[in-house]
Amino acid sequence: MASADRIITADVSASPSVPSSPAPVQALLPRGAALVVLAVLLFYVGSQGRILWQEWANLQGELAEARQSAVIGYYNIHINPSYARRPDDWCHDEGAHTLLWSGWKHGQGHQWFRIGRGELDLAHVSEPIGRDVIQAIDLPIVEVGGGTIWQRIPEAADVAGHELGGTVNVYPLLLLDKVEVVNDEVADQPFLVTYNPFASKPDRVNVYVGASEGRRVRMGVSGYFHDSKPVFYDRGTESLWVDRGEGLEAVAGSRRGTTLRRVAHPTPTSWGDWRARHPRSRLIVGADRSRPPAEL
């Protein structure tokens, strides 16, 4: 007796094939995320790189500034401060003369420059700071072709130089700024180097002959300015002198009208450049103040 139940067997081999589906979207996400992360990383590195570059540039600037402001140690170059209070009549007339206050001397009281009345247009003259508060150099200390100060001066420091009698002379502007005049001498030939802190850099330094009528003329700093130019006084007659372009002219006092001819108008350059071109220069590095100017 046949069974009522029929067992139907599926023919698998006969079933239609199912096409393979593409990779799910989720499979692409890791690659996209990696690209996003890489882009963010590149942006971060780029921005940080700019910051690091700027910091490096700032550091280089600070190092250069530190080198420029490093203590060089020029010998005996400093101001001579005076605490004397100038009198109310620091400029006044007495008969045929005008008196300009020049400072205070212990045991003697107020000191004065005595010039001819009307020799100076006082509307163009500054108020005084005192004679020799800014100390000129009367006896330079020098190094030639090397030395302690020679090695300390930063490469970028400004200097001004000239040649006289076959000798190349060079003066750091930092030193000149503190003394305003150098009474120099090379091969028994005197000359003056002056500095005007208010002039543009190319016009700050001038070199003049340092003798008149066969006699040495030594200059000090009066403590006055005339039309923004320093006024010097000669230690012999205390006449007052101002730069007049082609020469240093006595504008008041017994030597009025005398002119010391300008022999050089050096343009400042960097110490590194100057030293490379003139390795055997005579470098002014300070002042010998063992003797007072009156003994020179």
Q: How many residues does the chain have?
A: 296
CA angle (278 as vertex; 272, 282 as ends), nearest 5:
100
Q: Is 251 within 8 Å of 226 (Cβ atoms)?
A: yes
Given a cut of 60, whether residue 70 has pLDDT beyond it is no
Beta-bridge partners for 233 = 220, 240
Quote the percentage of the chain above a pLDDT of 90.
70
The residues, any chain, with a CB within 8 Å of residue 267's CB and separated by 6 or more, are: 160, 202
Lowest mean pLDDT among 41-55, 84-98, 102-116: 41-55
DSSP-assigned beta bridge partners for residue 93: 98
Tens of pLDDT along 231-265?
A: 999 999 999 999 998 899 999 999 999 999 999 99
pLDDT of residue 33: 76
Domain coordinates of the chain in residue numbers?
A: 37-68, 128-295
Q: 242: exposed, middle or buried (C-beta count within 10 Å: 0-12, 13-18, 19+)? A: buried
Amino acid at 213: E
Neighbours of 133 (CB within 10 A): 16
- Give the per-residue pLDDT at 29: 58
Whether the Cβ atoms of residue 74 and residue 283 lie closer than 8 Å to each other: no
CA distance 220 to 179: 9
pLDDT at 19: 52
Q: Six-digit token pair at 84?
A: 């004397």
Provide the 8-state DSSP code for 125. B
